């Protein structure tokens, strides 16, 4: 890897090496927990270049590049990104993420995937690192390239990173998505998983089955985009169903929505049964709800649509199960719970109802809770657990990962800001992000690491239509290579 760029979208893009590597990543499936083929290909590529390669017990790939001549005494610098991507597609799109390549388009200065996620999160970070590893002209000290696995589905790679694997005490994380900003801290989080067995009942006589689909929402990242108050398809459809069941003897056969606990749900669907005499008014009721919700989401998610079609079912949920699930899902917290009082304009605590799957025999739903303060995420998660306990529904927390505590006095941050100023003649911004970066987990095993995160501008991560600003990738490359040289220069502040 990589031979040449074949996709027209990548032709004549600069820097060539970075885009060539990203084009190759677009051809290799890399779902979370299935990064093996990509990792193996990168491993063989690195070995062919004479680099030292190691795969640890968690499946992370560590590639070591020796220093350039004259920089042998420079500190070891870790550059880090994750191999996996969130796999989302629009309804009706025949894309198989386990085998089909991502086919981006170039549009108005952006590289975009129209009907799927692009994987710029964090494929661009990986491509930047691979370009560094192969470029013999760069000036730098010893480099450890850490490519982690399973970031998007629980941060399993960073969680399993053992103490002593890394020698460096400086780390650049390349997994943030706003050019011109350096990140020095992030939220931690945990999952809340709810599961309940149900009681199936036969279809009532004289009832007809209909499928209701609610979609057309933007979706997005459950941390970075949570403050925009975009529509949650699950929460909205539950509102509709609760209204319909108050008016008619409606029974619920199933309810499904969302695909990932860390993505805002874009679609949800339910199969309901209702008396045949009410069928004629169902479409009118849904049209009224569509108008109402579009008004509520004005300027945020106006593409919302609700449609219905005849369906076929044999059994429905019991009336008790239906009432408990709809009430609990309606009452469950979603969105921003608290804004930070220490960092202006930053969300402190939030929750995302990301996935629901209900049928007559079983039901489950999954939340992701985030906070800049561990006690904040723990308290909100316990609130969700307690809510479902009221109905006797078991819920448990899992997958806790710590936040990354900010260090405004970081020498690496000061150096990065100085380099940015020299390269671009402008001041950078310093931020804390309401999303999970692997820095928090890595710091748990390496508490002395001095870490900074940056990257190009990426919009719509975790949702179809994800795009990366082409010019910002070139800027990120310029900045990265300049930081490598500055860190390794004699007398650099470290």
Catalytic residue numbers read 84, 151
Whether the Cβ atoms of residue 437 and residue 443 lie closer than 8 Å to each other: no
411: three-class secondary structure by DSSP? helix
- The one-character DSSP state at 89 is B
Residue 115 has φ and ψ, to the nearest 5°, of -115, 0
Both structure tokens of 292: 């109402």
Q: Which long-range contacts (CB under 8 A, 24 or more apart) does 340-345 make?
A: 340/372, 340/432, 343/372, 343/432
Cα distances (angstroms) measured from residue 344 to each of 339, 341, 348, 432:
8, 6, 10, 10
Strands 305-310 and 207-215: antiparallel
- The closest of 231, 225, 305, 228 to 266, measured between CA atoms, is 231
Burial 457-477 (b: 16+ CB within 10 A, else e): bbbbbbbbbbbbbbebbbbbb
What whole-number distance in Å separates Cα of residue 230 and Cα of residue 298? Answer: 10
Q: What is the largest CA-CA distance in the chain?
A: 85
- The closest of 233, 236, 244, 237 to 282, measured between CA atoms, is 244
Whether the Cβ atoms of residue 432 and residue 342 lie closer than 8 Å to each other: no
> How many Cβ atoms from other residues are within 10 Å of residue 408's Cβ?
9
């Amino acid at each position: 890897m990589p031979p040449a760029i074949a996709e027209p979208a990548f032709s004549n893009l600069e820097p060539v090496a970075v885009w060539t590597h990203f084009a190759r990543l677009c051809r290799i499936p890399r779902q979370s927990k299935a990064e093996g083929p990509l990792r193996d290909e990168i491993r063989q590529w690195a070995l062919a270049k004479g680099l030292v390669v190691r795969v640890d017990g968690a499946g992370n790939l560590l590639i070591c590049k020796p220093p350039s001549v004259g920089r042998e005494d420079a500190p070891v610098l870790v550059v880090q990104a994750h191999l996996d991507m969130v796999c989302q597609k629009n309804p009706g799109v025949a894309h198989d993420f386990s085998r089909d390549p991502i086919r981006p388009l170039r549009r108005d200065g952006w590289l975009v995937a129209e009907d799927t996620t692009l994987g710029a999160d964090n494929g661009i970070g990986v491509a930047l690192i691979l370009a560094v590893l192969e470029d013999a002209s760069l000036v730098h000290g010893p480099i450890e390239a850490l490519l982690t696995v399973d970031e998007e589905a629980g941060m399993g790679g960073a969680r399993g990173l053992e103490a002593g694997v890394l020698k460096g005490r400086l780390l650049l994380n390349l997994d943030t998505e706003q050019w011109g900003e350096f990140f020095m801290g992030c939220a931690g989080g945990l999952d809340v998983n709810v599961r309940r067995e149900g009681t199936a009942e036969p279809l009532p006589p004289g009832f007809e089955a209909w499928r209701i689909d609610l979609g057309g929402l933007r979706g997005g990242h459950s941390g970075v985009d949570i403050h925009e108050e975009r529509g949650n398809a699950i929460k909205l459809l539950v509102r509709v169903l609760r209204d319909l069941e108050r008016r008619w003897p409606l029974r619920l056969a199933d309810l499904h929505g969302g695909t990932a606990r860390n993505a805002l749900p874009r679609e949800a669907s339910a199969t309901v049964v209702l008396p045949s005499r009410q069928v004629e008014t169902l479409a009118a009721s849904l049209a009224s709800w569509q108008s109402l919700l579009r008004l509520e989401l004005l300027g945020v998610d106006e593409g919302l649509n609700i449609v219905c079609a005849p369906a076929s079912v044999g059994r429905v949920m019991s009336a008790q199960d239906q009432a408990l699930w709809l009430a609990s899902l309606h009452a469950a917290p979603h969105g921003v719970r608290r804004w930070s009082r220490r960092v202006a304009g930053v969300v402190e605590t939030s929750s995302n109802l990301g996935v629901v799957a209900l049928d007559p025999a079983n039901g489950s739903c999954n939340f992701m809770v985030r906070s800049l303060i561990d006690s904040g995420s723990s308290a909100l998660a316990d609130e969700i657990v307690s809510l479902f306990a009221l109905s006797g529904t078991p819920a448990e927390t899992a997958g806790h990962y710590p936040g990354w505590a900010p260090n405004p006095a970081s020498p690496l941050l000061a150096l990065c800001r100085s380099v940015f100023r020299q390269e671009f003649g402008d001041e950078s911004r310093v931020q804390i992000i309401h999303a999970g970066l692997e820095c928090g987990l890595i710091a748990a095993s390496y508490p002395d690491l001095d870490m900074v995160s940056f990257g190009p501008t990426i919009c719509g991560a975790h949702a179809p239509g994800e795009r990366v600003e082409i010019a910002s990738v070139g800027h990120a490359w310029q900045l990265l290579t300049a930081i490598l040289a500055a860190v390794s220069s004699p007398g650099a502040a470290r």
